[in-house]
Amino acid sequence: MFPLDEHTIFLTLAGSQAHGTAREGSDVDLRGVCVAPLEVRLSLYGTFEQYEGSLPEALAAAVLPRIQLHPTAARALSVKTECVIFDVAKFVELCSAANPNTLEVLFADERDWVFETPAWRRLYEQRRRFLTQKVQQTFLGYAMAQLKKIRSHRSWLLKPPAHKPTREEFGLPAAGGTLSHDDQNRIEQSIADKIRSYGIDDIDMPKPTRVAVQQRLESCYRDVLAVSEAEPEGALLDDALRAVATRALPLPSDVVTALNAEKKYRAAMKHWDAYQTWQRQRNPARAQLERTHGYDTKHAMHLVRLMRMGVEVLESGDLRVRRDDTHELLAIRGGAWSFDELLAHADAIRGQMQAAARTSSLPEDVDRGFVDALVFELAISRTRP
pLDDT of residue 80: 85
pLDDT of residue 213: 73
Banded pLDDT at 229 (limits 50, 70, 90) = very low
Banded pLDDT at 365 (limits 50, 70, 90) = very high
- Residues of the chain with pLDDT > 90, as a percent, come to 58
- Predicted confidence (pLDDT) at residue 67 exceeds the cutoff of 90: yes
Alpha helices in the chain (DSSP H): 4-7, 16-19, 38-42, 57-67, 73-76, 88-96, 100-106, 118-125, 135-158, 181-197, 207-226, 237-248, 253-281, 284-293, 297-316, 326-333, 339-359, 368-379
pLDDT of residue 176: 65
Judged by DSSP in three states, 363 sits in coil
pLDDT of residue 359: 94
Banded pLDDT at 384 (limits 50, 70, 90) = very low
What does residue 244 show for φ and ψ, rounded to 5 degrees? -65, -45
Average pLDDT of span 376-380? 88
145 CB-near residues (< 8 Å, 6+ apart): none
Q: Which of 210-214, 238-242, 271-275 has the lowest mean pLDDT?
A: 238-242
pLDDT of residue 42: 82
pTM summary value: 0.79
Average pLDDT of span 223-236? 47
What does residue 250 show for φ and ψ, rounded to 5 degrees? -90, 170
- Residues of the chain with pLDDT > 70, as a percent, come to 82
Question: Which carries the bigger pLDDT value, residue 161 or residue 175?
Answer: 161
- Predicted confidence (pLDDT) at residue 234 exceeds the cutoff of 50: no
pLDDT of residue 272: 93
pLDDT of residue 109: 96
- Predicted confidence (pLDDT) at residue 208 exceeds the cutoff of 80: no
What is the chain's Cα-based Rg?
A: 25
Question: Which carries the bigger pLDDT value, residue 13 or residue 385?
Answer: 13
- Predicted confidence (pLDDT) at residue 93 exceeds the cutoff of 90: yes
pLDDT single digits (tens) 109-161:
999 999 999 999 999 999 999 999 999 999 999 999 999 999 989 999 999 99
CA quadruple 93, 95, 96, 100: dihedral sign = positive
Pairwise CA distance, residues 30 & 94, whole Å: 17
- Predicted confidence (pLDDT) at residue 221 exceeds the cutoff of 70: no
Average pLDDT of span 330-336? 95
pLDDT of residue 140: 93
pLDDT of residue 356: 95
Pairwise CA distance, residues 363 & 369, whole Å: 14
- Predicted confidence (pLDDT) at residue 321 exceeds the cutoff of 50: yes
- Predicted confidence (pLDDT) at residue 228 exceeds the cutoff of 50: no
pLDDT single digits (tens) 345-361:
999 999 999 999 999 99
